[in-house]
Chains A and B, each alone.
Chain A
Amino acid sequence: MTAEQRLGTQPSKTTRWIILGIVGLVFALPIVAMIEFTFRQGLAGGYTLDHWAGLFGEDSARTYRGLFQAIGNSVVLAIVTVGIVLVLLLPTMILVHIQFPKLKRVLEFICIVPITVPAIVLVVGLAPVYSFVVKIFGSGAWTLAFAYGITVLPYAYRAIQANLEAVPVITLSEAGRSLGAGWPTVLWRVLLPNLRRGVLAASFISVAVVLGEFTIASLLNRVNLQTALLQVSQSDPYVAVIFALLALALVFGLLLLIGRLGSVGRNRKES
């Protein structure tokens, strides 16, 4: 047993694997059911590879025409949204934490409103704002990032806040300031490395939310990954499920990649 396990701060190996095993099994079940469905032949039973093979058929070119552009749109949207979170939300949260503790509840409420009003209702209000935005920025799909920055606010806020509360931000910033650092340096080299965990979690969930968002893009008639997926899924229920699984795998892979990049930076620092 490690010291931490003896102290009780960490679970023993058996506990860990029991919990993770049970939860993992339960959560894998619906995914496995979807995969099993895609191999089914029809109502009579029996299995076939035809549905997967059909992905590469001759008439699939038209099907895929919009899909690759949609993936590109969604990736750009994800990047811009994470940018909004990092550039707008994070400094504001740190500022409120240090200087305006009384505004903390206000900020918390602001960051919970986006998730309170369902997107299908919010779009009624977003539409006039967007007709104005379109005049300035054009109607490219990337302008959706402004709305998505709002959509991810609740998740990103909670992830960063959990970290903020665990780190003695005020002490650290005072220490940095008293050692002669300017505010930018304090932010970059003192606070952000400590908030890395929360910022990374916020980025993860933001990317996942943007790549999985359907309603706002669809109701504002923009093309993103999910709307394009719906288009290609129309012909065949099996194809629809196959594409949903592939989209999940794509986002999962993307996030693994981002996580890898994040930990590479950290290793370099610690060595």
Chain B
Amino acid sequence: MFKKCNLAALALVAGVAISLSACAGSTTPAASDVDAATATSAEDFGGLDALVAAAQAEGQLNVIALPDNWANYGAIKALFEEKYGITVNSADPDISSAEEIAAADNLKGQDTAPDVFDLGTAVTLASTSYFAPYQVANWSEIPDANKEATGLYVNDYTGSMSIGYDSNSVPEPKSLDDLLGSDYKGAVALNGDPTQAGAAFAAVGLATVQSGGTLDDFTPGIDFFQKLNAAGNFLPVNATGATIASGETKVVFDWSYNNLAAAATVDGWKVTTLPGAVYTSFYNQAISKDAPHPASARLWQEFIYSAEAQNLFIVGGAYPVTIQTLQDAGTVDKGALDTLGELKGDLVTPTAKQAEDNAAILASKWAAAIS
């Protein structure tokens, strides 16, 4: 009978599945794991080679929230796998920094918990209790302003806030006020909501400094978007690679690396940075205190700050934290840097206090401004 066969097959498959998972299980930790979890630099392992060996013994690395097309992380993960033979398990590419920390909580003690984090500044400052301090081999090459003294978290890369546009439908915007014109009707979109997403927050920041305001108060930026909305030029949809490719969002405020990634896959998409004030904001690299693969996590950290990976960030359209050292030492990828363009202009980055104040201002004013 159909149902009897079905149930028997079901039981068989369930039995196989259970026995397979019992065989799989988790890898038994090596004796050096106890040291790895508290190691604060490669010396604690006995040199970089010993660190590599310890990491290879672990064999896996769990990363989280690293999309392949965000600052060229796809190539960076692939290079790490190739170079060291360690499998990179990339989970949850689309989640936010706050969700990364939530995942660390949810999966604590399991072997699928994240080993390393790549976080926005606000979340980093609020979550230092999740991190283990570690100083990479080229610690001195990283400017003091870009790292926490004990190595709890370190800036890894930044982009500049840029404007991507569909060169077939709209003219290149040369100034912020150009976007208020009739050429851009129903065209301008952000990458998220400024009260939730870092990229959109930065877009309002850019509008603020381009409108003559300061980073202490984002109100001029909010006013700009209100005017944009009143002119019928603002589109409240989340700009993604797909909406760009379908032509729905003709002008997008986003980090340079995201807009450049879109330009690489969509014919006709161009990227420009407005002259004058340029808004930047670094992301932060940190190692999880409860990492299931502590040696791999620390090797990943070393890898990210090595010249190879830092140059790959440039290829992806982001500016790595050691760019000055790379240029001085001549190890920078000149071709990639020329394509990207130097980070010039009046660079502005918000401090933690400014970010917090503006988050509150946005929370109270944004919804009304764009409704």
Contact = CB atoms under 8 A, between A and B. Distances in A.
Task: Please say whether chains A and B are actual partners in one complex.
Answer: yes
Contacts of B108: 131
Contacts of A80: 13-14, 17
A86 B6 CA distance: 11
Nearest to B77: A62
Contacts of B17: 76, 80, 140, 142
Given A83-B14, A139-B112, A241-B242, A221 B68 contact: no
B94 interface: yes
Given A138-B21, A142-B21, A131 B110 contact: yes
A138 B69 CA distance: 32
Sorted nearest first, the 6 A-B pairs with minimum C-beta distance are A42-B267, A265-B2, A43-B268, A140-B21, A127-B106, A237-B241
Range of interface residues on B (Cβ < 8 Å): 35 or more
A123 B1 contact: no
21 contacts: A43-B267, A80-B13, A83-B14, A127-B105, A127-B106, A131-B107, A138-B21, A219-B102, A220-B106, A221-B64, A221-B107, A227-B92, A230-B94, A231-B90, A234-B93, A235-B69, A237-B266, A238-B245, A238-B265, A241-B242, A262-B2
A45 B1 CA distance: 56
Contact of A218 (B3, B92, B267): B92
Nearest to B269: A43
B176 interface: no
Contacts of B67: 234
Interface of B: 1-3, 6-7, 10-11, 13-14, 17-18, 20-22, 24-26, 62, 64, 67-69, 74, 78, 90-95, 99, 102-103, 105-114, 166-169, 240-242, 244-247, 265-269
B93 to A, nearest CB: 6
Interface residues of A, number: 49
A188 B265 CA distance: 57
B265 A236 contact: yes
A191 to B, nearest CB: 12
A40 B13 contact: no
A220 B10 contact: no
Contacts of A268: 2
Contact of A234 (B26, B69, B112, B269): B69
Interface of A: 37, 40-45, 62, 76, 79-80, 82-83, 86, 123-124, 127, 130-131, 134, 137-140, 142-143, 188, 192, 218-222, 227, 230-231, 234-238, 240-241, 261-262, 264-266, 268
A220 B107 CA distance: 7
A76 B13 contact: yes
A240 B242 contact: yes
A237 B265 contact: yes
Nearest to A38: B245
A220 B112 contact: yes
Contact of B110 (A45, A134, A237): A134
A41 B103 CA distance: 38
Contacts of B62: 221
B150 to A, nearest CB: 28
B93 A237 contact: no
B24 A192 contact: no
Contact of A240 (B106, B241, B267): B241
B106 A261 contact: no
A235 B316 CA distance: 12
A234 B68 contact: yes
Given A43-B166, A139-B112, A230-B94, A79 B78 contact: no
A237 B245 contact: yes
Nearest to A261: B2
A142 B14 CA distance: 9
Given A218-B91, A264-B2, A37 B268 contact: no
